[in-house]
Amino acid sequence: MMKYAPIAAIFFPALATAFLTPVPAKQQVRMMAATMAPHKTDKSSAVFEEAKNIMPGGVSSPVRAFKSVGGNPIVFDKVKGAYAWDVDGNKYIDYVGSWGPAIVGHADDEVLKVLNEVMEKGTSFGAPSVYENTLAKMVIDAVPSVEMVRFTNSGTEACMGMLRLVRAFTKREKVIKFDGCYHGHADGFLVQAGSGVATLGLPDSPGVPQGSTAGTLVAEYNNLANVEQLLKEHEVAAVILEPVVGNSGFIVPDKSFLEGLRKLTTQYGALLVFDEVMTGFRISYGGAQQYFGVTPDVTTMGKVIGGGLPVGAYGGRKDIMETVAPAGPMYQAGTLSGNPLAMTAGIKTLEILKRPGAYEKLDRLTERLITGILKEGKAAGHAICGGHVSGMFGFFFTEGPVRCFADAAKSDTAKFAKWHRGMLEHGVYLAPSQYEAGFMSLAHTEADVDATIAAAKEVFKTL
């Protein structure tokens, strides 16, 4: 019955000695709850109230506003390792990880060290640097589809460049995306886009001209027949997808679906594009394409390859990438692209990820977490399903299975909102939307995971 004793010692030091002798599990939980400081958010609320008068919705990115889960957002003060602290002094086990980049942990000491060294040389050159070459070679060596790469400043930028590239290379205009897949906020992709659009219940965004989306066709995820019908009816430049969906919640593809897309795009003369902004270097060192053994023609990347700094990239076969200026006629540029800070943080992050056992640890901890959450949810009588691939996970308040956005949309989002608030009050920070994936880091421990499951068990009882 000593399972949670180490957790109590970490989060409630005053109780450490009390847990040196065996105590029944239920009594342990009651003791932890009795000594837990009230979850105060006065300062967070004050900061957010001010922010609403100076930024749209009080945030710089929509999902941060907590609209789908209710209440005011938590305002962070600092992060380190697997943890975040808000301005009220509350500590959280963090499973958002800056939406994926913090795969080695927040503010990792090794990453900070090299960043400090490079900052002495400057923060932006606006000129070539050796750091770009080093990170580019690491990406090319790791990702099966990439023979050349272009760095950008965000995942959205990478996808914008990719969209222009596939059209320039094929001399076709139509592209196929999937219901609930998000590829950034460029006009051409804001069609049934998942992520923040789904979270906020928005229609296709106002301000997007009809002409911008006229070339975008939408198919159902995991539905090959639907894709083939569109390929028969239209001259398509590319089929673009998240190879593991993280923006409709967490949805895993059938491997046969990815294999089928590879065959169909080749057959109909279209390019296959994997948007690995979220999955790249997260579910395996070579991304989803290495994990599933299916190689696309073009790949977009971001998040992890910047080690916590703003970054994006797109890459692919050399003959395709040589269409990009200045090698070719397709124009795309960016003043801060390839800046030395992002490149250096990315280099060190990839070095850490390449060490033996890194992905085995991510997989082990994530499986422990999601298995525990699902077990406790079902034991409490809730309809719940979910899963993980390496360090990426998610679940839905529905019986499932969830294979596409239409399935995800059947989830009980009101129940998720209550669960999310309860977990916050128990010191666990999760994405404030049923339609977002969660992320594990190398800084998380088994004690963190067990504390999270224990909290989930208590919160499930209140729903």
- Kindly list the distances between the CA atom of residue 163 and the CA atoms of 90, 176, 224, 287, 330, in Å, as whole numbers in the listed order: 42, 11, 22, 20, 11
Cα dihedral across residues 226, 228, 232, 237: positive or negative: positive
Is 303 a residue of the active site?
yes
- Kindly list the distances between the CA atom of residue 63 and the CA atoms of 7, 92, 210, 458, in Å, as whole numbers in the listed order: 31, 19, 25, 26
Full 3-state SS string of 16-48 = HHHHHCCCCHHHHHHHHHHHCCCCCCHHHHHHH
**148-152 β-sheet, strand order:** 148-152, 312-316, 298-302, 271-275, 236-241, 174-178, 216-219
Angle (CA) 448 450 456, round 5°? 105
Main-chain phi, psi angles of 123, to 5 degrees: -100, -25
Is 275 a residue of the active site?
yes
Query: How many angstroms separate the most distant Cα atoms in the chain?
Result: 72
Active-site option among 182, 221, 291, 359: 182
Indicate the burial class of 94 (C-beta count within 10 angstroms; 0-12, 13-18, 19 or more): buried
Token pair recorded at residue 164? 């222009």
Q: Closest Cα partner for 231 from 192, 176, 173?
A: 176
Rounded to whole angstroms, how far apart are CA atoms 100 and 195?
A: 14
Do residues 95 and 85 lie in contact, with contact meaning Cβ atoms separated by under 8 Å?
no
Cα Rg of the chain, angstroms: 22
CB neighbours (10 Å) of residue 269? 12
Is 314 a residue of the active site?
no
Active-site option among 108, 275, 297, 448: 275
Q: Which letter does DSSP use for residue 271 in this model? A: E
Active-site option among 174, 303, 348, 457: 303
Residue burial 184-219, b: 16+ Cβ < 10 Å; e: rest: bbbbbbbbbbbbbbbbeeeeeeeebeeeebebbbbb
Catalytic center residues? 182, 275, 303
